[in-house]
Structure 1
Amino acid sequence: MAMKIPHVLDCKVKSCSYNKDATCHTMAITIGQGSDPMCDTFTHLPICGGVKEAKTFVGACKMSDCSHNKNLECSAEGVHVAMKHNQPDCLTFLKR
């Protein structure tokens, strides 16, 4: 059975270069940095990046202890990203 690739439903990380109006505009993000469900695609540069028409997908998830993680891919319907503990985190992360 084919796996449906989840979308980034919203992103509240205003300081990210890919964010415009609470929407991520890169093609795909990667979640997970060490033991944190951080958006590893986050970047803070003085320019706006991404593609205006992009509907952002979750390309990979390195959080093997998340209940949505299946073989390092996200199986959630969609994800929410926002600042948590001063870093951009996947709020959909649910520890097994």
Structure 2
Amino acid sequence: MTLAAVSRPQRIRCLDMNPCQGRFLELKLAAIQCLKYDHFFAQFGKGRHTNFRGLLDSKLAPHLSPGAYQFWRTNVNYFSSSFYLRGYSG
């Protein structure tokens, strides 16, 4: 099963003092478009994925801006344990 957003907004604008939040939103929107439920839940429900780098390069990259892709490529280890125990989330 693939997740699909019912609404297709032309543009989403968001503002956050922490630029990581914008990159996280973009990652979630990309995941909604292309990941199967089990991968989506592992990444965002559990906060960890055993092969985030593989998903990033093979599935998510085409749906990310160059800046967001580079951010997640640099921080690929964020999903190796619990993403939600990092920064303000912890």
Q: What TM-score, normalized by structure 1, do the two folds share?
A: 0.23
Q: Larger % of helix: which?
A: 2
Q: TM-score, normalised by structure 2?
A: 0.24
